[in-house]
Each structure stands twice: as C-alpha cells, then as structure tokens.
Amino acid sequence: MPETMTRTVPPLSILTEEETQLAEQVHQFAVETLGPKSMEMDRANKLDPEILKKFFELDLMGIEIPEEYGGLGLNFGMSIAVIEALARVDAACAVVVDVQNTLVNNAILRWASDDIKKRYFPLLAKKKVGSYCLSEAGSGSDAFALATTATKKGDRWVLNGGKLWITNGLEAEILLVFANVDKSKGYKGITAFIIEDGWKGFTKGKKEDKLGIRASSTLALAFEDLEVPEENVVGKVGEGYKIAIETLNEGRIGIGAQMIGIGRAALDYAAQYTKQRVQFGKPISEFQAIQHELARMDMELECARLAVYNAARLKEAGMPFLREAAIAKLKASETAEMCTSRGLELLGGYGYVKEYPLEKMYRDAKIGKIYEGTSFMQLNTIAKEVLRRN
C-alpha cells in the first residue's frame, strides 16, 4: 500500500478557533487598509511604506518568531492563513509577508545560532524587512548552479557575485544570501549568510517592471568584496543546500496560500457581479451556463485550498511533506490562473479594463506558476515521489 495512505495525521483543521478569528481580523484589516490603496500601488509599481509600518504594528512580519524576541510565537499554519487572508485583497502585499515569514524567519528559526536569533529576530519582528537571496542569472530551476562565491579571510567571509529576482529587495535591510565556499564540492559547498543593507560592497540594482504583483519589489543585487562576519553564517558551512531545499518546500505552501487567496477573491467578485449584471431581462447569475462556471471555480478552489492546508498540517506534525507542498503550489497556482481568467470573462468587457479588479487579479496570478519553483519543477518532484514509493 502506498505510504501516503498509511499516515496518521492530525485533524484537518490546523487552526484553533482563536487563530481562525485572527485570520478573519487580518482579512478585515486588509479590506479596510490595503483595498483602497491596491490599484494605486499597482499603477505606481511601489508598496506604500505606511502599509509596511502597519504590518509590523500588527506583528504580521514575525508570526512564528518566539515571543521572547518580540514575535507572536504562533505556528506555520497561522502564517499560511494570514497570507491567504491578505491575498484575498492584494497579492503583492501578501507576498511581502509571505517571504518574511515562510522563508527568512523560518530559515533563521530552524537553522541559525542563538546569537543570530538574538541579534536579528527582534529587528525582523518589529521594524526590518527580510529577503531570501538564492536565484541568479544561471541558477533558476537549477537552484544550486550558484556563481556567487564566499572566500574565507581571517574571521570573515568575502562574497563576490550577484543575485536576480529578489523579492522584497528594495525594502530589505536583512538578507539571507546563499554562496558557494568551495565550487569543487558542488552543491555541498553552498553556505547561507546573513548580510545587512548598507554594508560596504553591497549594492542594489534596478527594480523590475513586472506584469503582476507590482507593488512587491523585485531587484537584482551585487556583491563586490563584501565582508561578512563569521558569526553571520547560518547553520554550518556547506549546509546551505539543505537550508535552501527545506525552506523552499515550506515557502511553496506559502505561495499556495497566496494563490488560493487570489482565486477566492476572483470567485467572490465574479459571483457578486453576475447577480448585478442584467441581460435579457434578468441577472446573468440565473443562467445555468454562468452558474456552472461559478461552480467549477468553486470546486477547483476548494480542492486547491485543501491541498495547501493539508501540506501545512503535515509540516506542523513534523511529517514528510515534500510531495504535498509541490502539489499544493502546483494546484493552487493553476487554480488561481483559472479562476481569474474565467472571472474576467464573466465580467465581459469590464473584466478587461483596469477600472475593475479582475484584470489585476489575472496579472497577479501568473507568477504563482513561476517563482519558488516553476510548475515543471513541481511536476518533477511529484513524479519522483510517485516512482520512489512504487
């Protein structure tokens, strides 16, 4: 019998009633605070700095950071619920919180020394944005073909190279950077470092002008003889590949949450519109063809949401979730693209103009099939697990 059928797992709900209420409060905050600014931030290609301040004030940037360091001390499932709640209103804002929690904070929580936690967690919880820096010009899906190097120099490491497609790059002041200390060892030479904005030898490049999630900054970074203290190594030297793999697996669940948030918003808006739009003497919601479109959107969205929260509960239970995280991201990103596309079509010509939100949702959804592992890579991961257990 396949091992996935024999697992004992906790109940499907991974949130307490109090945590569920907190997620709904975050959504209400998003409606009131992000909603009025969402379209303008998209046009301006920039995140409103006041929103970042609000995120810190509400402790949304340190959900899993222990209370002793100023965080909420909650679990991974809560991070996923918050990301979904924000993405129902603005996907770009959701990914800012997503990267901070599921990638940067998560990696530090699991791998960093107590000294690093004491120095950086209070900052990440209350006032500084973090960024996860792995991708390069020659290492996208082939994540470990890193050209960035780190050379030992006394009690410091000297970094040279660059990164591409770095989310939160513009706002980030604390960055988790992956570099290779010994290329002869291949991926086993990869090591993780924490660097700070403003250090000599570190520069930020131009902000990318993207199709969607435009308020979220995406930058290129450059390192030229950047000296990093030895105590800023995260985990052990040569352990960076393990940190990257395991952190990205969890990050993919976060992207899944972002995508189901977008899909849910598209369905809700389209359904409301069909009840108001009158053709042939009645609301178009009364036509069976329209009802079937909404039903399929709802069905696919429910399946995607179950996949995302299933992966999250396995992670919380300390059980294997590699396959489930890949399924969650793949299914959720495909569903978001489908829901936004069909929702846009249900609005007809109105869906195609920027005055209505479906156009933005459609653009925002596309990135889900690309970042933190393309759909092709998720399919590879799922297939390997199928073949391994059979």
Q: 62 and 28, same structural domain? A: yes
Q: 349 and 275, same structural domain? A: yes
Q: Are strands 190-196 and 172-180 parallel, antiparallel or unpaired?
A: antiparallel
The runs of H, that is alpha helices, within the chain are 17-29, 35-44, 49-57, 76-87, 91-98, 106-111, 114-126, 240-276, 288-316, 322-346, 358-366, 375-388
Number of domains in the chain: 3
Q: 259 and 186, same structural domain? A: no
Catalytic residues: 372
Let me know: does 102 contact 126? Beta carbons within 8 Å.
no
Token pair, residue 27, equals 């959504």
Instruction: Please report, for the domain that includes residue 139, its CATH number.
Output: 2.40.110.10
- pLDDT at residue 90 in the model: 98
Q: 61 and 46, same structural domain? A: yes
Q: Are strands 278-279 and 156-167 parallel, antiparallel or unpaired?
A: unpaired
Residue 206's region, left for phi above 0, alpha for psi from -120 to 50, else beta, is: beta
CA distance 361 to 365: 6
Distance of CA 346 to the CA centre of its chain: 28
3-class SS of residue 94: helix
Nearest to 41 by CA among 259, 269, 263, 216: 216
Give the number of C-alpha atoms closer than 13 A to the C-alpha of residue 182, restricted to the C-beta side.
Answer: 8
Q: 160 and 112, same structural domain? A: no
Residue pointed to by tokens 């690093």: 116
Q: 233 and 161, same structural domain? A: yes
CA distance 340 to 367: 13
Q: 359 and 328, same structural domain? A: yes
Instruction: Please report, for the domain that includes residue 328, its CATH number.
Output: 1.20.140.10
Residue 178's region, left for phi above 0, alpha for psi from -120 to 50, else beta, is: beta
CA distance 132 to 130: 7
Name the pTM for this structure: 0.94
Let me know: does 148 contact 136? Beta carbons within 8 Å.
yes
Name the domain boundary from 71, 93, 128.
128
Name the domain boundary from 81, 105, 128.
128
Range of the domain at 225: 132-237
Ranges in the chain, pLDDT < 50: 1-12
Nearest to 260 by CA among 382, 82, 102: 82
Q: 371 and 280, same structural domain? A: yes
CA distance 273 to 293: 13
Let me know: does 234 contact 194? Beta carbons within 8 Å.
yes
Q: 168 and 142, same structural domain? A: yes
pLDDT in tens, 115-158: 999 999 999 999 999 999 999 998 877 877 899 999 999 999 99
Q: Dump the DSSP string for 156-207.
A: EEEEEEEEEEEETTTTEEEEEEEEES-GGGGGGGEEEEEEETT-TTEEEEEE
Give the count of beta carbons closer than 10 Å to the beta carbon of residue 164: 19
Let me know: does 152 contact 180? Beta carbons within 8 Å.
no
